[in-house]
Amino acid sequence: MEHILSLSYGKDSMACLGAIERLGWPLDRIVTADVWATDDIPADLPPMVEFKARADAIIKERWGITVEHVRGKYTAETLMYRRRVKGNHAGQIRGWPMTKGQRMGCELQRPCKVKPLQEIQRGGIIYLGIAADEPSRIAGHINRPNVKLPLVEIGWQEDYCGLWSKYSGLLAPIYTEEVRGGCWFCPNQRVDSLRRLRKNYPDYWALMLSWDGDSQFPFKPKRTLRDYDRRFQAEDEGRIALEGKRFRWEEVTP
């Protein structure tokens, strides 16, 4: 039976490599699922794409294993433009993915990440990077057959996993720089992150605005991406202050 590490490139996931090594557990494969925004644009921001390539090279050199990158059948854009077949919105395109909270992700999670990983991991023993100080996550996985938690077994907590990753050259830029982890178009991201995206990646922002114009659902529960665009434009032009007073949407929306 194969022993497979499910790699997210986060610190806990990375530290699993060290824990598995110390525990003397077998490791046959390392797999990760990449989400794609479109056919040729990854959902990760460029610094994260570069980090993953660097990390893959380190892993190959130190553990002798090539990280396998799998992807779902559909890109995020394809899924957003698929038409609903049932319910009140039948016939309309799906639009922005519905979110299920910060931890649970959104409706892209299953087709773009979970399913392709499940296909490759079927029948193997899966190592998950859940730290020893994450009781609620541990409770959700500890009794699953075919799942092992190396960090729990060895007792490594989140802080230690961060240090291990840092000193192994495997700490993702999301922990040290203003780089977002996860999809750059994620509706769960904070206002600051959206502001940075618009400033640093105008092409991605323009693509999001075109999706926003086609989606019958707003980007966030009560706001379209165009609302955010108006807000940031007003900030750029000095019509509203970035700091010093509480922002009110009435200031920028018609």
The whole-angstrom separation of Cα 122 and Cα 149 is 17
Residue 18 or 182: the one with the smaller Cβ distance to ligand SF4 is: 182
Question: Coil, helix or strand for 24?
Answer: coil
Give me the least distance between CB of 113 and ligand SF4, in Å please. Answer: 6
The whole-angstrom separation of Cα 231 and Cα 159 is 37
Q: Does residue 108 belong to the site contacting ligand SF4 (CB under 6 A)?
A: yes
CB atoms within 10 A of CB 244: 5
Q: Does residue 97 belong to the site contacting ligand SF4 (CB under 6 A)?
A: yes
Question: What is the pairing mode between strands 29-33 and 68-70?
Answer: parallel
Stretch that binds ligand SF4, among 44-52, 78-86, 105-113, 116-124 (CB under 6 A): 105-113
The whole-angstrom separation of Cα 132 and Cα 125 is 19
Residue 47 or 124: the one with the smaller Cβ distance to ligand SF4 is: 47
Q: Does residue 186 belong to the site contacting ligand SF4 (CB under 6 A)?
A: yes
For residue 45, give the nearest of 157, 195, 179 by alpha carbon. 179
Q: Does residue 105 belong to the site contacting ligand SF4 (CB under 6 A)?
A: yes
Stretch that binds ligand SF4, among 122-130, 158-166, 179-187, 233-241 (CB under 6 A): 179-187
Give me the least distance between CB of 89 and ligand SF4, in Å please. Answer: 19
